[in-house]
Chain A
C-alpha cells in the first residue's frame, strides 16, 4: 500500500528530527532561561518549605503586582536538591536570573567561573539600598574586595534549643557550661529521653557541633587559618581535643538513637525535640519558625527554650561567639539578558528592602538582615527575636558555617569525614590528616 511507504518516510523524518532536536537542546549553551517571557522578565530560584517560602513568594508577588510588564517567575526546591540543581543549571549555561545562595565558598566558585555580576558599583551608586542592610552581612557576599551578592532575608545564628517540658519532667536545669551538658546526658538517657536530637544523615547538622566545640575550646583562630588556606591548619592540638570530645559524646549516647539516618530536610530532628523524644538540639535559628509551624502549640505554650552554646570549662574561646548564616544571598547571573538584569536590580532596590519585606521576615520568626527591625519584635515571637538579635549583634565573632565558607570540594571532604567521625569510622588523627589534604582546594 502507498501510505505505508509514506508513513515510513514520515516516521524516519520524525525520528531524525527528534534526535536532532535532542542533540541541539543538549548542546545549547546560550539561552538564558529568562529569554522565554516578555521583555525584562526574570527568573528566581530559591528554597521551598517553611518558614521562608511564603515570604519569598510574597516578595515576588508584591513586585509582580507593581511591575506587571517585567514579571519575575519563582521556582522553589528543597535545600539539598537546590544545591545540585543550581550547579547543573550554571554548568549548562542556563541559570535563573537571580541565584539564591549562602555566599562564601560557593559564591567564590561562581565568581571564578564568571557566572555572577559584580554589584560593587551598583551598590555604591545606590548607597540608600546598601545603608538599609546590616554591614556584617556583606562579609560573605564579598570576594576579593568586590560584592557579588545582595544580603537578603535573615541573620541566622545557630543556638541550642531545649524542650522545657522535658527538663521539668526530669527535674533538671538547663546547662550553664559544657560540663553541665555532659552531666545531663546520663540523666536523660535513664528516663528514656535522648539528650540531643541530631539529623545525622544531613551531615552539616553534625558539623554545627564541631564548629561550636572548636570555637569554645580554642577561639575562632583555628578555622580562620583553615579558611586562609594555611598548610596543616587542622593540625592544631585543639582540633584533636575537640574531635575526641565529639567522639566521646557519641560513645556516651548523647545523640538520639538512629541519628545517622535522620534527615534535616524532612524536619525529623525538630520533631524529636517538640514531641519530647529528645531534650536538646543544636540547630539554626530558622528551626524556630519550623517548630512554630509544625509543633502544634509547643512553642506557643512556652515549651521551647534556647540559648547560645554554653562555654567549655577552661576553653579559650569567647562565649559570645556564634556560628551560622550572617544572611542569605541573591546574585545576578551574568548570562542573563540585560533587561532581565535590570528587572533583578529593580527587585533588589525596591521590594527586597521595603518595610513589608522586613515585617514579613520578622513574622517568619527570623531576625531580618535589614536594619532597624527591633521595633517590630512584638507578639509571641518577641523574646526569641530579641535574643537572636542580641546573640548576632553581641557576638565578638559571627563565623560563617564551615561548609558554606569553604569551597564545595573542601566542604564535601569535610562533611564526609564528619559523618565518619560520628560513626567512629575515622580516628581524630585520621580526620585531621584527611582534612589537611584539602586545605586551599
Chain B
C-alpha cells in the first residue's frame, strides 16, 4: 500500500496553468484507443462497402455495386423493422419498470440494499449464457413446462414469430432492468430532500411527489438511460443469435444479424459492410435525436432551491 504516492502529492501538482494541458493529455490514451479500435476499423468497413469480397480471396473495388445490392434486398427493410420493433418495445417495457425499481431502491433501508444486490445478478451473466439457459428452460419438449406438466408454459415460445419477439424482449429486460434501475437509484438519491419536505408541507402525497418532483428531477437520467437502451438494442447480436438464430424464418433477424449472415455465412463482405454503415448511421442519428430531446444541457434543475 505504501508503494502508491500519497494523495497529497497529487493534489499539489495541478496549478492554474498546468491544469488545462493536464486535461488534454489525459484524453490522449482514450483517443488513441478510439482511433485504433474505433475509427480505423470504421474507415476500413466504409472502404469495404465499395468493394466486392468473399472474405477469403482478393478484394475487388466495385463502386456502388455492394450498396445497390444491400439497399435493393427486401431483407433490409424487414431487418430495420425488426430492429425498431425490438428497440421500441424493449424501451417501453424497461423504462417504467426501471424507474419504479430505482425509486424503490433509492430509499435508505437495509432490506432494499439487500434486494438491490439480488436485482443486480442478471447483469453479471453473459448474454450467451443467459440465452442458452432460457432456451433450455422454455423448450417445449424438455423445458420447465414439460418438466412441471404445466401446459401454459409449453407454448412454442421460439417457434411463433410474435412469441419469439416477446421472449426476446423479456430476456433483454430481465438482463438490463437491473442496470437501468441502478442508474435511476443514483439519480433519485441526488434529488435534494428539501424538495420533498417542502411539497409535504404543501400537502402533496407520494404519488404527486413522484410525478411532480421525482420524474422532472431525473429527466436527464431518463435521457441517458434511454440512449443506452436504444443504441444498445441496435447491437443485440449474441442474445438473438444464440436464442433464435434470427428465426423462426426471419422473424427476429435484426440488422446486426442480417449483417452477420450476409458477411460471414453468405460470404458477401461488401453488402455486409454497407449494412454495417447503415447500422452506424442509424445509431448516430438516434443518439443525436435523444440528445436534442433533452433540451439544453445548461439549464438548472435546482432553480429556487
A interface residues, Cβ below 8 angstroms from B: 1, 4, 8, 11-12, 15-16, 19, 22-23, 83-84, 87-88, 90-91, 109-110, 112-115, 194, 200-201, 256-261, 263, 268, 271-272, 277, 407-409, 411-413, 416, 419-420, 422-423, 425
Contacts and interface: CB of A to CB of B under 8 A. Distances in A.
A347 B76 CA distance: 47
B5 A87 contact: no
Contacts of B204: none
Give the secondary structure class of A's interface: helix
A103 to B, nearest CB: 16
Nearest to A271: B142
B264 A84 contact: yes
Contacts of B154: 257
Nearest to A410: B266
The 3 closest A-B pairs by CB, nearest first: A113-B57, A261-B158, A423-B249
Contacts of A1: 5, 9, 13
Interface string B79-113: 00000000000000000000000000000000000
24 contacts: A1-B5, A4-B5, A87-B56, A88-B55, A109-B57, A109-B267, A200-B248, A257-B140, A257-B156, A258-B157, A259-B159, A260-B158, A260-B248, A261-B135, A261-B244, A261-B247, A261-B248, A272-B141, A408-B265, A412-B265, A413-B266, A419-B248, A425-B250, A425-B251
B37 A257 contact: no
A420 B247 CA distance: 9
A425 to B, nearest CB: 4
A412 B261 contact: yes
Interface of B: 5, 9, 13, 25, 28-29, 32-33, 35-37, 40, 54-58, 135, 139-142, 154, 156-159, 161, 164, 243-245, 247-251, 261, 264-268
A258 B266 contact: no
A22 B36 contact: yes
A91 B55 contact: yes
**Residue of A12, A115, A260 with highest tally of chain B CB at under 10 A:** A260
A390 B40 CA distance: 57
Contacts of B267: 87, 109, 407-409, 412
B250 A416 contact: yes
Contact of A258 (B13, B29, B159): B159
A88 B156 CA distance: 35
Contacts of B156: 257-258, 260
B20 to A, nearest CB: 16
A422 B247 CA distance: 11
Contacts of A19: 32-33, 35-36
Of the candidates B142, B244, B268, the one having the most CB atoms from chain A within 10 angstroms of its own CB is B142
Contacts of A109: 54, 56-57, 267
A260 B250 CA distance: 11
Nearest to B33: A19
